[in-house]
Amino acid sequence: MNAKETVFSHLVELRDRLLRIVIGIVLMSLALFPFANDIYHLLATPLLNSLPEGGQMIATEVATPFLVPMKMVLLVAFLLSSPHSLYQLWAFIAPGLYTKERNLIGPLVLSSVVLLLCGMAFAYFLVFPVVFGFLASTAPEGVAIMTDISRYLDFAISLFIAFGFAFETPIVVVLLVKSGVVSVKALRGARAYVIVGAFVLGAVLTPPDIISQFMLAIPMWLLYELGILVANITSTKVQEIDQIQY
């Protein structure tokens, strides 16, 4: 098989893998479609519980009551089908990797997915109630809180993304050390800058209240420390193995 045929076969396989990913998401969306309103209500529960008596959510556009729950279904379907999607991607790239690379990338991908979900769960169960409770309590007297369901979904997604990616900090730290970009010693020396940067990101990515800023910045700092710890342990183990083989 010449190089041209090899490239073509890889492109065909990539097309098949991507098609399977799309089919998985579509099937999951169809399975969740009957529960679209229930899923959105689950997402809105932290806000609804924080609203004062008489407060409610509204829809300001004609199609919003239908489109917003459907958008939520697609997002949930994407998350729930992510193990299948990751498997398809892994099955495509794994044959071209060395054993050492497979042993590194596999656990990192799995860990990144787990940390992403942990970040989203942290936002939903801990951050949302605090943030919405604070914002509802600061409303001026006589102001009725009626949040548009589309705006709320966008706001929730932005927080999910912020906390989901913030929880990827250990993965980034480990990759930086493994790739030789920085050393564990350099990361420890940059601790003060990382703490300041975490609070700056907290101010940029979260609502304008100091509580949510702290709730993003402090976990980022702690996860940075966790990344240093993991990178140090794995680097030490690799050095010990190399010395034994030598």
Mean per-residue pLDDT for 221-234?
87
Span 134-180, pLDDT tens digits: 877 777 777 777 889 999 999 899 889 888 988 988 888 888 888 77
Q: pLDDT grade, residue 236 (50/70/90)?
A: low
Taking alpha carbons only, the member of 223, 224, 238 closest to residue 180 is 238
Q: What is the pLDDT of residue 240?
A: 45
In this predicted structure, the answer to whether residue 199 has a pLDDT above a threshold of 50 is: yes
Q: Which H, E and C letters describe the chain, residue by residue?
A: CCHHHHHHHHHHHHHHHHHHHHHHHHHHHHHHHHHHHHHHHHHHHHHHHHCCCCCEEECCCCCHHHHHHHHHHHHHHHHHCHHHHHHHHHHHHHHHCCHHHHHHHHHHHHHHHHHHHHHHHHHHHHHHHHHHHHHHHCCCCCCCCEEEHHHHHHHHHHHHHHHHHHCCHHHHHHHHHHCCCCCHHHHHHCHHHHHHHHHHHHHHHCCCCHHHHHHHHHHHHHHHHHHHHHHHHHHHHHHHHHHHHC
Mean per-residue pLDDT for 104-128?
87
In this predicted structure, the answer to whether residue 242 has a pLDDT above a threshold of 60 is: no
Q: What is the pLDDT of residue 122?
A: 92
Could you tell me the end-to-end alpha-carbon distance of the chain, in angstroms, rounded to an integer? 39
In this predicted structure, the answer to whether residue 189 has a pLDDT above a threshold of 70 is: yes
Q: pLDDT grade, residue 245 (50/70/90)?
A: very low
